[in-house]
Each structure stands twice: as C-alpha cells, then as structure tokens.
Chain A
Amino acid sequence: MKSDQTVAPERPAATPPPPGPAPEPVSSAQAPRRRPRRPGRWVLVAVMAVLSVPFLFPTWWMATSSMKTASEILRVPPTVWPAAPSLEPYVQVFALQPFAQQYWNSLYIAAVVTIGTILVASLAGYAFARIQFPGANLLFILVLVGLLIPTEVTIVPLFRMVNSLGLIDTHWPLVVIPILGAPSVLATFIMRQFFLGLPHELEEAGRMDGLSRWGIFWRIAFPLARPAIAAVAIFTFLKSWNMYLEPIVYLSSRENFTLPQALTQYVDAYGGPIWNVQLAATTLTVIPVLVVFVVAQRHFIQGLAQTGLKG
C-alpha cells in the first residue's frame, strides 16, 4: 500500500513524552505544543473517563460476576462486588467440560500457527522484497488474492477437502490452513514491507563475507526484523486464539474443542447459559492475553505503528 514505509528506529514513540523535564531529545516535530487552557484540559479528561466506562466495565463485570452465586448474578439492582465471593463457579468450569484439555488445545494450536506463520511469511516476504527471480510479480499477486478472501467464502470447499482427507475432528485443518492459506497473507505483506526498507549495505557486507542467500536472510535480515515479527506474532496469536467458525465447522468432540467454542457450551438442560460458570470460564480465557498485553503494551503499539500498517 505504501512503498516508503516506516521502520526508522528513531521514530518517536506513540506517546508524547511525559510533561516535566524532557528526558529524551525532542525533534522539531515534537516541539512542546501550545498548551490548552487549564479548564478545557480537565473537561477533556472527564470526557475520556466517561467514555472509558463501556470499554472497561464489561471486563470488570465479568471478573466479579464469576465469583457470584447464580441467584446473586441476576439480582436487581446488580451488586458491584460479590456479596460472598466464591470460587465454586471455577470448580464447575473444570467439572462440566474437559476445560484444561480445551485450554491446552487453544494454546498449542495458537503457538504452532504463530511460529509457522512467522517462518513462512518472513521467507516469502523477504524473497518478494529482496530477491530477483522469474515470475516474482505474478506469484506475489497470486498470494495477495488471499487478502480479498473472507474465510467464509472458501469454507465449503475447504470443509470438503478436510473431510475427504479424513481429518474432520482433528486439529490439522486449524493448524495447516492458517499457516499456508489466506490468514497468513497479511503477515507476508507486512514482512515484505519491512524488508523493502532494510538498507542494502547490510546485505552487501554479508555477501562480501561469503554468506549464501540463506545465510544473509537467517543471520542478517531475520534478526533485524524483530519489530515486524513481534507485530505479526501478536496478530497471528490473537487471530488463532479467537478462531471460531473453523473449530465449530471442523470439530465435533468436546475434548478436541478450542476455547471460544467451549465457552458457549456451559448451558443448562434447557439451553440457557449457566451464567456464573460461563463467566468464570470466560475470565480464565482472558487472563493470559491481558497479562501479556499489559506487559507488552508499549511494544505492541509501536510494532503496530512501525509495520507499514499505518497509511
């Protein structure tokens, strides 16, 4: 989309530096702004505080309600904090379904898909950006078609393919198709954009030292691509972790289920959700990602801004 993409390491961070004695050298683009008048500032902060409620409250509600009893959960007006916090719903989560197994399924599928996508996408992205070979443009267009295809468009033929290979109710289609098919095309595109901006001198130096193309890729270009790889890794992991249509199409037995699919199975005999258990299971699926996000927040946002995904 944009050929002169942004990988410059000296690019300013996404946050303006904190007020007070500026710790870092400030470029002219970042020169102190005209300060808004004081009262206006606090109005804006109040606006943001109000706006943040629908973003934060559901998560809070989920976590606290998961410790309530089934009757307290439906009490009107609702309680903000459980009257008698109980971990009983969390015990139920594991009693009603093979939840630990399902957790492991989601984790290992997401890990394999992430590593596989990074390898396939960075190899292809590198070659499309840096190596001259016959048919490169044609092959690149062929791969890019994947960007235009929503998963749902090809789900019927893919289902038939998986079925005829006898792989229904296995994890193979959830691993192989995302790594090689349409879902990894965005990753290939991001990696190509990154490698286009890498200085040629680095590779020349490697070549003078007698490195093969593989050596140049693996020892020079790949390690330098860390910011793009980080962004691709987080995107891919989240996408796989959240995958929903594919598991409900391909999987049929509970011990093979992945988490998003398993979460909807906490229902009573009448098909109504058992709220506190469902919310407890939901809370458990959010924790690891939330922890990673809070720790890696800064890198994540910088990665996003640096991968040429911005226009």
Chain B
Amino acid sequence: MAVLATSLRADRRQRRSAWRRRDAATGLLFVSPAVLGSLAFVIAPLVAVVWYSLHEWNVLAATFTFEGAANYERMLADKALHASLAASGWFSLGLVVLNISLALGLAVLLNQRLPGTTFFRVAFFSPVVVSLVAWTIVWGFLLQVDGGINSALGAVGIDGPNWLRGNVTAMVAVVVVQVFKNVGLNMILFLSALQSVPEEIQEAATLDGAGPWRRFVSITMPMISPTILLVSILTIVGSLETFALIDVLTQGGPGNSTTVLVYYLYRQAFEFNEFGYASAIAVLLFAIVLALTLLQWQTRKRWVFHEV
C-alpha cells in the first residue's frame, strides 16, 4: 500500500516536470512572433537609426560617409530645428493643459445624474471615431478666412483672423482641432476613474461641512491621480507624434510656426532626402520621449495618491 503510494507520487512528480518542460517550450513558442517582431521592427531599426545618425547620408546623391557627431553639431546651429522644438513645446503644453482640464471637466459633468448624459457622452466621444484626416479636412474648411468659424464670429460682430496664416493663431488652431478630436478618449478614462471613487467618503466629507470644490480638490483629485498620471503620459507622448494633423492643416506653416519635431524629421528625410540628419533628429525625438516618460514615472510618488 505504502509502496504503491510512493510510486504513484513519484510518477505524478515525473509527469509534472515533463509538463513543466513542455510548458516552458510552449511559452517561448507563444511569445516568439511578438519577440521576433520586436527584434526586427523595433530594436534593429532603433540601433540602425543611431548608426545612421552618425553618417552624412543623402539618398539622391547616394553618399553614405561616417561623420561622427557632425549631424548633432549641425543640430546645435540649425535655427529651423530650434523653431520646431519650440513649436513642439508649445503644441504639447497647450494640448496637455487644455486636453486634461477639458477632459476632467466633461467627465465631472457627465458623472452627475443629469438628463441626457448618454447623448452627451456619445456627442463628446464621437470625434474620436471620425478619422483624423477627415476631421482635419473639415476644420481646415471651417478655419479658412471666409470659412464657418469667421462667419459665426461675424454674426456677433467680430472680425475673425485668417487663422491658418498667422503664427500664433495657426498654433492655437492646431491645438484646438486636436483637443476636440481626442478629448473624448481621456474623458472616458476619467469618467471610469471617477466612478470608482467610493461614495461613502464623499458623504462623510459632506457631513463634515466640505463644499463641492473642497471635496473635489481634497478627495476626488487624489483618488483619481493615477489616472491623471496615465492620461498625461499618453497625451504628452501622443502629442509628440502628431503628424497627419500638421500635414493636412498647415504643412508646418506659416514659416516654421507649426513645424513640430516629427514634421521637421519627415521633411528632412522625405523632402530633402537627408536621411542621416533625419536620423539624428529621430534620436533626439526618442531621447525626449524617453526622458519625459522616465521623469513622470520618477515623480509619480510625489503626486499620485496610491501607487500605480
């Protein structure tokens, strides 16, 4: 009896380790498409772009010569690049501030028990599903000097500017068009965070005499801070990738006022055929994205209520 039990146990142990070995192989097999894809289409291109950035490489002239840090020195002197860094900075700043405050405001409004919230939720979210180029073409039409926006302003006696032809107004225009396009997504994320804030704490604070604003700042904001962190990372990184909006609405103009970094990169590569310099700009872009993400990750403990 005892002998039988031991041999059964040994048998089971053996079967279990055989399963475990086969299981590990299956695991490697399951992840192999993603891992090989990552090596071929993410890691290798990333290494390549750093390598290219050290070269003078003009595709049309078919030159490919090692130049060391020459492209990076060129960056330091390139006024147009500095303008495009500034444009990217203003774009990201405007977008993050407007996007997050509007998204949070809309989410708070929708979180009330009001008539028609389902309708408004769909309304605010609907531009998210309209294709970006379609949305941008329509706004391009509305923002023309004799387009819909200025007609509406004219009706109340305001003489609107030529939005897409002024340095400042063009930047305002691209930010606003982008905010209306995507704020619905952030709104939904905030809404689902707001709905996980326990009602009891709010009730207790109300009994203690806290008004709506106080409750929002002292209870709601800290409780949804992980979502604010996530949304701000997604929005900032997303804003650095804006290309279609600029290409369709302003082509980077007037001057270089809306030439954000990726648009500058694109022009260097595919209009001026300067692949080496474009690669150096790509490395700069990657460094910025990496730095911002790490910075936000590092500072999260200061302002995020519970650890993410």
Q: Which A residues have a C-beta under 8 Å from some C-beta of B?
A: 1-2, 12, 14-16, 19, 28-31, 33-36, 41, 44-45, 47-49, 51-52, 54-56, 58-59, 61-62, 65, 74, 76-78, 120-121, 123-124, 126-128, 131-136, 139, 142-143, 145-146, 148-161, 177, 179-182, 184-185, 188, 207, 212-214, 217, 238, 241-242, 244-245, 248-249, 259-261, 263-264, 273, 275, 278-279, 282, 285-286, 289-290, 292-294, 297, 301, 304-305, 309-311
Known: A123-B34, A127-B31. 13 other contacts (CB 8 A): A16-B117, A51-B106, A61-B148, A134-B24, A152-B243, A153-B289, A158-B41, A180-B33, A182-B41, A207-B19, A275-B141, A289-B130, A304-B192
Of B43, B126, B134, B265, the residue contacting A263 (CB under 8 A) is: B134
Asked whether, in the complex, the Cβ of B38 is within 8 Å of the Cβ of A148, the reply is no
In the complex, what's the smallest C-beta–C-beta distance from B33 to chain A, in angstroms?
5
Chain A residues within an 8 Å CB radius of B40: 180-181
Of B155, B269, B290, the residue contacting A148 (CB under 8 A) is: B290
Chain A residues within an 8 Å CB radius of B275: 156, 160
Chain B residues within an 8 Å CB radius of A49: 120
Chain A residues within an 8 Å CB radius of B49: 153-154, 156-157
Asked whether, in the complex, the Cβ of B293 is within 8 Å of the Cβ of A148, the reply is yes
Chain B residues within an 8 Å CB radius of A278: 137
Asked whether, in the complex, the Cβ of B33 is within 8 Å of the Cβ of A156, the reply is no
Asked whether, in the complex, the Cβ of A58 is within 8 Å of the Cβ of B135, the reply is yes
Asked whether, in the complex, the Cβ of B41 is within 8 Å of the Cβ of A238, the reply is no
In the complex, what's the smallest C-beta–C-beta distance from A194 to chain B, in angstroms?
15
Asked whether, in the complex, the Cβ of B308 is within 8 Å of the Cβ of A1, the reply is yes
Asked whether, in the complex, the Cβ of A133 is within 8 Å of the Cβ of B23, the reply is yes
Asked whether, in the complex, the Cβ of A157 is within 8 Å of the Cβ of B44, the reply is yes
Asked whether, in the complex, the Cβ of A150 is within 8 Å of the Cβ of B240, the reply is yes
Chain A residues within an 8 Å CB radius of B42: 145-146, 149, 154, 181-182, 185
Asked whether, in the complex, the Cβ of A290 is within 8 Å of the Cβ of B189, the reply is no
Of B36, B45, B52, B126, the residue contacting A161 (CB under 8 A) is: B45
Which secondary structure dominates where chain A touches chain B?
helix
Known pairs A245-B266, A305-B192; A142 contacts B135 (CB<8 A): no
Asked whether, in the complex, the Cβ of B229 is within 8 Å of the Cβ of A311, the reply is yes
Chain B residues within an 8 Å CB radius of A56: 123, 126
In the complex, what's the smallest C-beta–C-beta distance from A232 to chain B, in angstroms?
13
A243 closest partner in B (C-beta):
B244
Chain B residues within an 8 Å CB radius of A128: 31
Docked Cα-Cα span, A276 to B306, in Å, equals: 52
Asked whether, in the complex, the Cβ of B41 is within 8 Å of the Cβ of A131, the reply is no
Docked Cα-Cα span, A28 to B201, in Å, equals: 12
Chain A residues within an 8 Å CB radius of B247: 244, 248
Of B46, B184, B262, the residue contacting A154 (CB under 8 A) is: B46
In the complex, what's the smallest C-beta–C-beta distance from A205 to chain B, in angstroms?
15
Interchain Cβ contacts under 8 Å between A and B, 5 examples: A31-B199, A48-B106, A124-B31, A133-B24, A273-B137
Asked whether, in the complex, the Cβ of A62 is within 8 Å of the Cβ of B138, the reply is yes
Docked Cα-Cα span, A282 to B132, in Å, equals: 10
Asked whether, in the complex, the Cβ of B112 is within 8 Å of the Cβ of A44, the reply is yes
In the complex, what's the smallest C-beta–C-beta distance from B83 to chain A, in angstroms?
18
Which of chain B's residues 26-42 have a Cβ closer than 8 Å to chain A?
A: 26-28, 30-31, 33-42
Q: Which B residues have a C-beta under 8 Å from some C-beta of A?
A: 19-20, 22-28, 30-31, 33-46, 48-49, 52, 106, 109-118, 120-127, 129-135, 137-142, 146, 148, 151, 154-155, 180, 184, 188-189, 191-193, 195-196, 198-200, 203, 206, 224, 226-231, 237, 240-241, 243-244, 247-248, 262, 265-266, 269-270, 275, 278-279, 282-283, 285-286, 289-290, 293, 308
Chain B residues within an 8 Å CB radius of A61: 138, 141-142, 148
A12 closest partner in B (C-beta):
B195
Asked whether, in the complex, the Cβ of A311 is within 8 Å of the Cβ of B308, the reply is yes
In the complex, what's the smallest C-beta–C-beta distance from A1 to chain B, in angstroms?
5
Chain B residues within an 8 Å CB radius of A1: 230, 308
Docked Cα-Cα span, A58 to B134, in Å, equals: 10
Chain A residues within an 8 Å CB radius of B189: 304, 309-311
Asked whether, in the complex, the Cβ of A188 is within 8 Å of the Cβ of B26, the reply is no
Chain A residues within an 8 Å CB radius of B289: 148-150, 153
Docked Cα-Cα span, A29 to B201, in Å, equals: 10
In the complex, what's the smallest C-beta–C-beta distance from A185 to chain B, in angstroms?
7
